[in-house]
């Protein structure tokens, strides 16, 4: 097998692998979308604002002579304390949120019918041409994310018609080798190979993070609390609002002292 044939074959395999990971992530994300929506709208804004205020408090204390304040970069909040296994014991979990045991640590892949060969082939073509991880710039990646959202939605629905319509927007790749094969063409194949390998690695990492990361752990706590008739997200939101309110008061007092 020639170098060109080997690289072409390897790139085709990697494109398929990237499509498989991309489809798995789309299905996994879709299965937890309601939870993620609540997290991003009800918890994340207060958490980020608290982080911002706490950093400002540290800066103000430092300006007033507290040389230890610059090291206060670790955010301590109801959310981080819950997710910090070394900080919150099982007894504390139960006392604060009614959680009597450690929550599950993994978000399982949803049990769905596998895509048909046609759906997978069409989706692979779209991924090979439009996946954000293959973009050459941040601007292009942002544009591709919007496009891939539509492709992911069609893939989840196993909508071959919609996928075919999207796939036909790409120029057909030449099936034959160029008339004159030079070192430049081989280098293009190698660069494509390296880009695909990097994208496959990152895509698999995204799945692992969603299944095993902090959001997965939080969802485990949320589901466990729900079984005990607790709305943990609601409770955490109120805790974050309360802590944020106190932090704002502290910051405003420090601002007044700094102006004097």
Report the pLDDT averaged over residues 44-71.
85
- Of 240 and 89, more confident: 240
Query: Rounded to whole angstroms, how far apart are CA atoms 38 and 43?
Result: 7
Residue 99, CA atoms < 13 Å, CB-side half-sphere:
26
Domain spans, the chain: 3-259
What pLDDT band is residue 62 in, cutting at 50, 70 and 90?
confident
**Token pair of 59 as six digits:** 């800066």
Q: What local confidence, expressed as pLDDT, does residue 88 receive? A: 53
CA trace torsion 187, 190, 194, 200 (10° rounding): 140
Radius of gyration over every alpha carbon of the chain, rounded to an integer in angstroms: 25
- Give the lowest-confidence range in 56-70, 72-86, 123-137: 72-86
Query: Rounded to whole angstroms, how far apart are CA atoms 182 and 189?
Result: 11
Span between the terminal Cα atoms of the chain, in Å: 78
Classify residue 93 as exposed, middle or buried by CB count within 10 Å of its CB (0-12, 13-18, 19+). Answer: buried
Residue 27 has pLDDT above 70, yes or no: yes
pLDDT in tens, 184-214: 888 999 999 999 999 999 999 999 999 988 8
Report the pLDDT averaged over residues 74-96.
66
């Amino acid at each position: 097998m020639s170098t060109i044939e080997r690289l072409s074959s390897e790139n085709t395999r990697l494109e398929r692998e990237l499509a498989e990971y991309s489809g798995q992530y789309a299905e996994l994300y879709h299965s937890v979308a309601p939870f993620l929506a609540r997290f991003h709208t009800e918890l994340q804004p207060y958490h980020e604002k608290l982080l911002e205020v706490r950093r400002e408090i540290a800066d103000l204390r430092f300006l007033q002579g507290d040389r230890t304040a610059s090291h206060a970069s670790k955010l301590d909040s109801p959310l981080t304390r819950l997710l910090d296994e070394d900080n919150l014991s099982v007894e504390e979990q139960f006392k604060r949120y009614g959680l009597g045991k450690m929550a599950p640590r993994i978000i399982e892949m949803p049990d769905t019918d596998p895509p048909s060969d046609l759906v997978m082939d069409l989706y692979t073509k779209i991924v090979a041409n439009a996946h954000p991880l293959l973009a050459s710039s941040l601007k292009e990646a942002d544009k591709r994310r919007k496009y891939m959202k539509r492709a992911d939605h069609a893939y989840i629905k196993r909508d071959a018609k919609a996928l075919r319509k999207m796939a036909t927007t790409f120029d057909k790749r030449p099936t034959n080798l160029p008339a004159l094969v030079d070192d430049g063409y081989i280098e293009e194949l190698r660069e494509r190979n390296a880009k695909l390998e990097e994208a496959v690695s990152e895509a698999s990492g995204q799945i692992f993070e969603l299944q095993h990361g902090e959001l997965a752990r939080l969802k485990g706590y949320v589901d466990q609390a729900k079984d005990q008739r607790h709305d943990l997200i609601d409770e955490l939101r109120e805790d974050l609002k309360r802590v944020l309110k106190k932090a704002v008061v502290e910051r405003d007092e420090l601002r007044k002292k700094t102006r004097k």
